[in-house]
Structure 1
């Protein structure tokens, strides 16, 4: 059976519209009642960060385990990882399109842009921290300590001084899925690196599985999640705040803000008021993003239908939360801004 002329024209027009405006198909197509049920208020102070008339938008799906979002304000795009497929992905805010930025990237995980706009990535296999230079070349910043290979760098922040701090818990070395299975030769640690160093410097080894990392609003404090229960069932998941000393080359006064034996905390980011927005796992009703006040009080959640591994603020006003959640990426406008 063939289509009649009118049916054919209607189908062609619909296909043409979809092709011309792919971004329109990227977000939600199912309407939601305002306020969106994604918001969960636990403490009334969370209400000031909510927007009544904004929906949770699923921008894209099709990943295996998505991680490591980083926002490029000049290009209006975010980089994120599909770790098992060893892909760097790119979400374009202006069009809503998602595309492959780079393939075969060593199962890269966390990303950041440094003070000069260069992309820095933590790779699992080979285990290293790399930087993409302006001419497109690749520089290896760190791949060993004391002559031994790093475990599997996980997440990274860039300092105004030009240095970087990264976590090295070793998840990419545990199974042949997010890297290459091998025995860890180093303690799990948090490291500092800057141009001119032959190898990174250990900042702390006190965390069992140092994972997500974020700077506070003024850059003087550092937040690190510890996903200890994955390999140390007798230890809780925690979020610890450190003071940065010596331009980020040392840490002091560790303060455990959050701990839980029921919930997992992964990647995190900080808003301008010092609240923490943390990728969370724990089952239905918990999966998504947990929001903690400066003193570590849980004030609210952004509930998702998937585990959320990491988050960052995006957009011209840095008020749009981008969440890498298992197989999908989601966005949600908020009434705050990223630090």
Structure 2
């Protein structure tokens, strides 16, 4: 068959265009995908099957941190803030693009973060030891830096109340070595405090824990959970999660009850789902590192196992059903059948 000039040019253009179309049947590059279901799920109690999703992978989004902590979700901006403590940076993970960038640097070895009910970021800093709030105009308000004339140890984690009050833990980890802060003697016994704009200094809530660390509210806002990483400095004491009743104004704890205790693992950051289950960052070696999930009475429901030690976690996304975990050098997400509290 003989092609005319116009037919020849048309055919040539079609061939050239076709050569630029990727071969969708080509062998994908990189490691082969893992089979479903992901082997990170560990069901201990059948009730945990409600949260297990067959067709979702564990995703590692970024792995360039030194020690990552304190994730907090901003629903309006669709991003999460987290801390790279040794580098004294607040980082930003964008849900839409998956990109991670530096939000702020030289932020006093920032650790725990949260957004208050007006959308302002509130953060715990190790050095200088203080709790700070970032205002809408870009300025910074120091909410707490001392108690009874003595410097705070190194505020660790926090929750925001509807009244704009803040409850924070102060175990002192950022003052123990020149890595997550600056080494210095602790001036105060580790404690948990309440603070708001009306106070000149925070209100002491409890000193009953050895190393009060992670903290979260229950779904109704009248229950407070706090982890105690006691074994780090008190080897004869177990790691625990303790539950308190919280007064309506946030200034008093009552009805203390130990929810979980285990000599073989340590619980760090905490978050709750809408059913009142507690999702705890856990460490203790292979088969434990990741997340442990307890029902409101302290029964272990199951685990999510990670290849790195998990320090903290929060639910993210429009449906709050995606668990974001800061784990050593990396951040991971996993879709679940649970919904985190807003």
Q: TM-score, normalised by structure 1?
A: 0.91
Partners in 2 of 1:317 and 1:41 — Cα distance?
A: 23
1:236 maps to 2:211: no
Equivalent residue, structure 2, for 1:283: 285
Q: Give the aligned partner of residue 215 of structure 1.
A: 217
2:314 aligns with: 312
Counterpart pick for 2:273 among 261, 271, 274: 271
Distance 1:255 1:102 in 2: 38
Q: 1:145-164 to 2 correspondence within 5 Å?
A: 145-164=147-166
Shift of 1:294: 1.1
Q: What's the counterpart of residue 334 of structure 1?
A: 336
Q: How does 1:1-339 map to 2 (within 5 A)?
A: 30-339=32-341
Alignment deviations for residues 62-85 of structure 1 (CA, whole Å, 9 cap, x no partner): 100000000000000000000000
Show structure 1 runs of 4+ deviating over 3 A.
none
3-state SS, counterpart of residue 196 of structure 1: coil
The structure with the largest alpha-carbon Rg is: 2
| Equivalenced residues, count | 316
Q: 1:105 & 1:191 partners in 2: Cα distance?
A: 21
Q: Return the offset for 1:246.
A: 3.9
> How many Å separate the matches in 1 of 2:222 and 2:32?
43
Does the 8 Å CA contact 2:316/2:324 hold for their aligned counterparts? Answer: yes
SS at match of 2:249: helix
TM (norm. structure 2) is 0.91
Query: What is the CA RMSD across the aligned residues, in angstroms?
Result: 1.5
The gaps in structure 2 that reach 5 residues or longer are: 1-19, 23-28
Shift of 1:29: 6.2
Alpha-carbon distance in structure 2 between the residues aligned to 1:103 and 1:162 = 25
